[in-house]
Chains A and B, each alone.
Chain A
Amino acid sequence: MKNHQRRAHLLIWLAMTPALAGLVWLAVLTRPAAAPLAGFVEPR
């Protein structure tokens, strides 16, 4: 790998790790309290 590619990989993952972890965290925090059980979602 060229040096700029190596740097790009490091930067991508330094940015993506907290962003994705934050997204999962937020999504779980804000999920509807009375989540309907999976499997009862009727075909539209």
Chain B
Amino acid sequence: MGHGYQAIKWYPFKRGYDGWIAAFVAVFIAVFLVGLYAFAPPGQFYSPVQALMRATGSCAFACLTIVLCIGPLARLHSVFLPILFNRRHLGVATFLIALTHAGLVLFWYHYGGVVSPALSLLTSNTAYDRLAGFPFETLGALALIWLFVMAATSHDFWNSNLGPGLWKALHMGVYGVYALIIGHVALGALQRETAPAFLAMVLSSLGLVSGLHLLTALVSRRAQQASADEIDWIDAGPALDIPENRARIIQPISGERIAVFRYAGKISAISNVCRHQGGPLGEGRVIDGCVTCPWHGFQYRPEDGQSPPPFTEKVATYRVRLDARRHVLIDPTPLPPGTATAPALIQEIPA
């Protein structure tokens, strides 16, 4: 992580973030309850527990939808980066709301019998072989377990303890959770609720989440392809076209992307992949002389790819030079992470 100053800059925002989450949850549940009672067909009655059970289920679904949209939105536009920074708080909130929902269900439908509520939940319906009447609760339970795993490992302690690879794999499970919840709702609530508002809720979430992910996947394929006419060094385009303190991202013919930064009259190239969670360093900026990851603010010196003390993260660096047209040339073979290499000086007229 960069240094104290990075954390301090985010700090007031971090507390505000949790406030916004709490406000969103409160407003969502209030509006849902009012809507449920106001638009109930004549003769229909909801007990408060049932109403709350549905409000918390829907609220957890809404939070999950937002959590999933934050990633692609942040890739599409930098105004969404601040909400990415503390996305894990919203993830933990999703788990807690879903837990409340499941607790209310167990209490309402499965408590007070001879068998334990959990056993009753899992055994009262075993029609796994058909869609109508499918035990959709099991899908919700599986999703809840995985939400718990992710909430419990959300702290950076676990990220560094499990290693970014395993951590990332665990947390990619959120896509599976989303699929389970779509199943949970389609085979559960949508079977009984014929009001179009409920179908619209599910379809708009699915459209938003899928649409944004597919859109970003397509947009982020756009990295400048290295031109193949240079055999050893690849041409990364004119140095002066890179905005000051910003980077151009280059996709070499093989290997990971390279972030080519321009700062203080110099050009340096480092790996585009942040050591923290793989954030795109080339979409970040040089702040206080360090490349700053757009996702959570880890920092690296452009000259040697090392995080400033006391931090110890290192990324690969690449040798750079300028040609006579002041195009940046990069040796695409990565130097070992943390290797110092001389930046190219833009002012120097190359031979």
Contacts and interface: CB of A to CB of B under 8 A. Distances in A.
Given A12-B175, A35-B192, A44-B124, A27 B186 contact: yes
B302 to A, nearest CB: 20
Interface in B266-287: 273, 278-280
Interface string A5-27: 11011101110110111011011
A14 B190 contact: no
A39 B51 CA distance: 9
A43 B278 contact: no
A27 B187 contact: yes
Nearest to A10: B217
B280 A1 contact: yes
A10 B199 CA distance: 26
Given A2-B278, A39-B50, A23 B186 contact: yes
A39 B186 contact: no
Interface stretch (B2-10, B202-210, B324-332): B202-210
Contact of A9 (B44, B131, B206, B213): B213
B26 interface: no
A40 B50 CA distance: 10
Nearest to B43: A37
A17 B214 contact: yes
A37 B40 CA distance: 10
Helix, strand, loop or mixed for chain A's interface?
helix
Given A3-B256, A20-B210, A44-B124, A27 B131 contact: yes
B246 interface: no
Contacts, number: 97
The contact size tier of chain A is 20 to 34
B192 A36 contact: yes
Contacts of A44: 109-110, 113, 120, 124
Contacts of B45: 39-40
Contact of A21 (B44, B110, B206): B206
Contacts of A31: 132, 190-191, 194
A2 B183 contact: no
B206 to A, nearest CB: 6
A2 B235 CA distance: 21
Nearest to A6: B220
Contacts of A10: 214, 217-218
B179 interface: yes
A40 B133 CA distance: 16
Given A2-B278, A3-B256, A44-B109, A20 B179 contact: yes
A19 B190 CA distance: 17
Interface string B303-314: 000000000000
Contacts of A9: 213, 217
B132 A41 contact: no
B190 A13 contact: no
Contacts of B168: 5
B108 interface: yes
A8 to B, nearest CB: 8
A12 to B, nearest CB: 6
Interface string B207-236: 000100110011011000000000000000
30 contacts: A1-B278, A1-B280, A2-B273, A3-B256, A5-B278, A6-B220, A8-B172, A10-B218, A12-B213, A17-B206, A20-B179, A20-B206, A20-B210, A21-B206, A24-B206, A27-B131, A27-B187, A27-B190, A27-B191, A28-B186, A30-B131, A32-B191, A36-B192, A37-B43, A37-B44, A38-B189, A39-B40, A44-B109, A44-B110, A44-B124
Given A13-B217, A44-B110, 7 more contacts: A3-B251, A3-B257, A13-B213, A13-B214, A24-B206, A27-B191, A43-B109
